[in-house]
Amino acid sequence: MRICIFGAGAVGSHFAVRLARAGHDVACVMRGSHLDAVRANGLTLRVGETAVTVSVKASADPAELGPQDVVISTLKATGIAALATGLAPLLTDDTGIVFAQNGIPWWYDLGLPARHPSIPDLGFLDPGGRLRAVVPKGRIIGGVIFSSNEVIAPGVVANLSPERNRLLIGECDDRQSERIARLRAALNDAAIESPAVKEIRETIWSKLLTNMSMSVLCLLTEQTARGVRDDPALKDVIPRLLDEANAVATHYIPDVKRVTRSGPAPDHKPSILQDFELGRAMEIDALVRAPAAFARAADLSTPMLDLMAALAVRKARDKGLDQG
């Protein structure tokens, strides 16, 4: 397959290496020193003491990469608007676009099952409707990533979760299509786990439960996930926080897997905290504002989540990272 990774940072570069090693024609949209290093020396993935280097097409200009069978966007929600202007040269009539990001996606209302409860206005996730104007429903593939990675040097990415690297995908209307089966097979062959998904929104909420609660708490306390879970001062706070998060998710997706305090807690900083420390725009809208809007639409009382959302927005604003 011709596969373009759009926004190949840490996780995107990791997936690019695995897909290229599996024999696919991989192209990457990337920029800066990372791009310069990949052009000069190839793209390197480190897993423990093992390093693998592959040659991939790479450019900051999608027009240099040509048409693709599938585009996998690993851009964060804060940068996804770049797709609106960059997609056209990558598309054929049949090209699907995987939107693999944290939080509530801009396309959530498209292909929504009739049984799904009514949802709030999510226009703030796609300001001006730029993506909606250029990406029709038929191209949209939902994606949820479970993989921890870090760019440790230009052109070199380290995988920090060797036992768990997944990209779960599904059509926005949950139909079981041929293209999903084909892409899922390609991912599995590349050692990127992609088991069958019945409802892509259930998968989105299952990850969001942790991000909207524990990850935001990590941001506020500037601790790792394990540090937050094991902090005696937060012993009584976390269960109440998770109760609220679970209540919101199960209102919309009754079968979603609930998150509990006893769940796994890796000893690393979630991406929202990493972005804060590096002075980068944070995914406040997708991880904080959107879940709060869903809670209000369901008439649910979520004082803990509301307080965390307000504090997260204030923390971002104080560092000049406010999204609006």
Mean pLDDT of the chain: 94
Q: Where are the beta strands (DSSP E) in the chain?
A: 2-6, 25-29, 43-47, 50-54, 57-59, 70-73, 96-100, 140-146, 149-153, 156-159, 166-171
CATH number at residue 42: 3.40.50.720
Q: Is residue 324 assigned to a domain?
A: no
- The contacts of residue 189 (CB under 8 Å, 6+ apart) are 22
Confidence of residue 126 (pLDDT cuts 50, 70, 90): very high
Q: What is the C-alpha separation between 50 and 158, in angstroms, rounded?
A: 10
121 and 230 co-located in one domain: no
Confidence of residue 322 (pLDDT cuts 50, 70, 90): low
Per-residue pLDDT, 321:
86
Tokens of 164: 């768990």
Count of structural domains within the chain: 2
Vertex 83 angle, CA 80 and 88, to 5°: 170
Considering 149, 181, 198, which residue would you say is the last residue of a domain? Answer: 198
Q: Which domain holds residue 124?
A: 2-198
Confidence of residue 73 (pLDDT cuts 50, 70, 90): very high
313 and 208 co-located in one domain: yes
What positions carry a catalytic annotation? 207
184-242 pLDDT, tens digit each: 999 999 999 999 999 999 999 999 999 999 999 999 999 999 999 999 999 999 999 99
Q: Is residue 183 assigned to a domain?
A: yes
Any bridge partners for residue 143, and if so which?
100, 169
Q: Is there a contact between 39 and 60 (Cβ–Cβ < 8 Å)?
A: no
